[in-house]
Structure 1
Amino acid sequence: MAVTTLDQSTALVLIDLQRGIVASPAAAPLSGAEVVGNAVQLADAFRAQGAPVVLVRVSFAPDFSDVVPGRTEHAGFGGVPPEGWDVIVDELSGHPGDIRVTKRNWGAFHGTDLDVQLRRRGITQIVLAGIATSIGVESTARAAHEHGYHVTIATDAVTDMNPEAHRNSLERIFPRLGESGSTEEILELFAKTRG
């Protein structure tokens, strides 16, 4: 479903737009830089209207003692990430009014104060963007839907490490959780809603 409505109480939630993830050369179909460029447009518009911008990052203790336990078929991190890998990219940093959330899971709700931060501000809808579409973004979208938020995905402000997984999220999962639209479509609708 194309984006049709944004509530007056809408927040922008940006997932894992941090140095180590944005810099990945495996991002597809969009590069990390393209996603950040569109996320910056969204963030600037939301900030200009006094709407909340949430910067979510994934991070772990230096010894990885807080990594989610359990058996998986995926090898995990495969070493120690470089210094500063979990720092939000410069293009989105430096705005003291932004809400910052650190997660230890795929999704931004479990084990964080994201829901409390949104509810205290009366937020009823979130616009989601970030990396990776099928992991952090999709997990957050699912939880947002389950928490009763209206969900909108910025389709040109998300990317993945797997183009097939990205496409599956956009075509099969997100339509069941909310609406989707381009950055331009969302900005146009946001301006009408707030104007």
Structure 2
Amino acid sequence: MAELTLDPKTTALILIDLQHGIIALPVKPYSGPEVAERGSKLAAAFRAAGSTVAYVRVDMADILHLPADQQMRDPNAPPPPAIASQLAPESGYQEGDLLITKRQWGAFYDTGLDQQLRRRGIRTIVICGIATNIGVESTARAAFDMGYALVFVEDAMATISAEAHEFSIKGIFTRMGRVRSLNEVVAALGQ
């Protein structure tokens, strides 16, 4: 595996859906609170290096609902409480971080995220969050299509099953970018 080095000026950390209604879900191979805590550690390291930190949250009351054989949530159920869409404090969000609100799985469509990153000269995205094979993978696929270099923080993401997590990590992410641990990513920043 090649050594990872990151230029803090052209690298952004994107944290996906570390909000109350998501980190409370039963996810694997790491728990939601573990992922949020690791995301917070990454954010602190990226801020210290002078990098861009972006938190993405999904508006759970306004998420896109299209016909599907297996709905993510009953479309006739009352909307979740507003707090479900708010970032969890343990995720480490701070004033000055970018805050992006999405209404579908991926963080790029109709959110202004690409414009915010390009204005800052970002060429590499380090990504983590919940769920590995949903919000993280959808965001990564769009970023890959737009020409961003990608780094995936394997121990700072989780999803509905360890098998689904492993499939995205080994079957998809290794073909789109580099998969590393939190410690390897922090070391690559020179922190």
How much does 1:109 deviate? Answer: 0.6
Contact 1:42 1:187 in 2 (8 A): yes
Percent identity over paired residues: 45
Normalized against structure 1, the TM-score is what? 0.90
Contact 2:60 2:80 in 1 (8 A): no
Q: Relative to 1, partners in 2 of residues 1:23 and 1:54: Cα closer, same or farther, differing over 3 Å?
A: same
Alignment of 1:19 with 2:15, yes or no, is no
Contact 2:11 2:123 in 1 (8 A): yes
CA distance, structure 2, for counterparts of residue 17 and residue 99 of structure 1: 14
Normalized against structure 2, the TM-score is what? 0.91
Q: Secondary structure at the match of 1:14?
A: strand
How much does 1:60 deviate? Answer: 4.5
Gaps of 5+ in 2: none
CA distance, structure 2, for counterparts of residue 16 and residue 32 of structure 1: 10
Q: How does 1:1-195 map to 2 (within 5 A)?
A: 4-8=4-8, 9-24=10-25, 26-61=26-61, 64=62, 67-78=63-74, 79=77, 80-93=79-92, 95-191=94-190
Q: Relative to 1, partners in 2 of residues 1:126 and 1:145: Cα closer, same or farther, differing over 3 Å?
A: same
CA distance, structure 2, for counterparts of residue 92 and residue 119 of structure 1: 24
CA distance, structure 2, for counterparts of residue 94 and residue 46 of structure 1: 12
CA distance, structure 2, for counterparts of residue 27 and residue 187 of structure 1: 24
Q: What is the total number of aligned residue pairs between the two structures?
A: 187
Q: Secondary structure at the match of 1:85?
A: helix
Q: Provide, for residues 146-175 of structure 1, a one-character-per-residue CA deviation record: whole Å limited to 9, x for no partner.
A: 111110000000000122211100010001
Q: Secondary structure at the match of 1:12?
A: strand
How much does 1:187 deviate? Answer: 0.3
CA distance, structure 1, for counterparts of residue 33 and residue 19 of structure 2: 11
How much does 1:93 deviate? Answer: 5.0
Which of structure 1's runs of 4+ aligned residues deviate more than 4 A?
A: none
With 165-174 and 4-13 compared, the bigger mean Cα shift is at 4-13
CA distance, structure 1, for counterparts of residue 131 and residue 30 of structure 2: 11
Contact 1:154 1:182 in 2 (8 A): yes
Q: Secondary structure at the match of 2:125?
A: strand
How much does 1:33 deviate? Answer: 1.0
Q: Relative to 1, partners in 2 of residues 1:3 and 1:111: Cα closer, same or farther, differing over 3 Å?
A: farther
CA distance, structure 1, for counterparts of residue 97 and residue 3 of structure 2: 24
Amino acid at match of 2:23: V
